[in-house]
């Protein structure tokens, strides 16, 4: 698996040198790195790579997939993220497991 590009940013977007496009940076698991103001780390469980692609396209964020867990940065609230995930076809597991990284357990909330 390729190593993620790691960066400390003051702005939630960075310029991808290869594609010349603005992107949300890939999250780094080192807790000592400060997040840009207002940006939170989230994690969720996904069933397959297709789910990740659907979520990336709907949420317009990049992230890191490790096993069946997807981690990403976002400024939106958890409620908004869950609403957007609910609009993706067959992404109910991600919608039911998404939480801020610090609170993430991987357990599904079947009430959602």
Residue 33's pLDDT is: 52
- Would you say 71 and 41 are in contact if contact means Cβ atoms under 8 Å apart? yes
Task: State which residues form the domain around 77.
Answer: 38-112
Residue 61 lies in a domain: yes
Residue 98 lies in a domain: yes
The CATH number for 45's domain is 3.30.70
Higher pLDDT, 72 or 26: 72
4 has pLDDT over 50: no
109 has pLDDT over 50: yes
**Eight-state DSSP code of residue 75:** S
Expressed in angstroms, the distance from the first to the final Cα of the chain is 33
Number of domains in the chain: 1
- Overall pTM surpassing 0.75 (yes/no): no
Residue 36's pLDDT is: 65
Q: What is the pLDDT of residues 63-80, one digit of tens each?
A: 898 889 999 999 999 999
């Amino acid at each position: 698996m390729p190593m993620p590009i790691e960066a400390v940013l003051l702005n939630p977007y960075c310029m991808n040198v290869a594609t010349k496009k603005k992107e949300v940076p890939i999250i780094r698991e080192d807790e000592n790195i400060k997040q840009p103001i207002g940006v939170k780390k989230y994690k969720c469980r996904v069933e397959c790579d297709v789910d990740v692609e659907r979520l990336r396209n709907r949420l317009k964020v990049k992230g890191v997939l490790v096993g069946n867990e997807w981690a990403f940065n976002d400024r939106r609230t958890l409620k908004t993220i869950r609403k957007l995930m609910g609009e993706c076809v067959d992404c109910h597991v991600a919608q039911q497991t998404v939480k801020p990284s610090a609170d993430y357990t991987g357990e599904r909330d079947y009430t959602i």
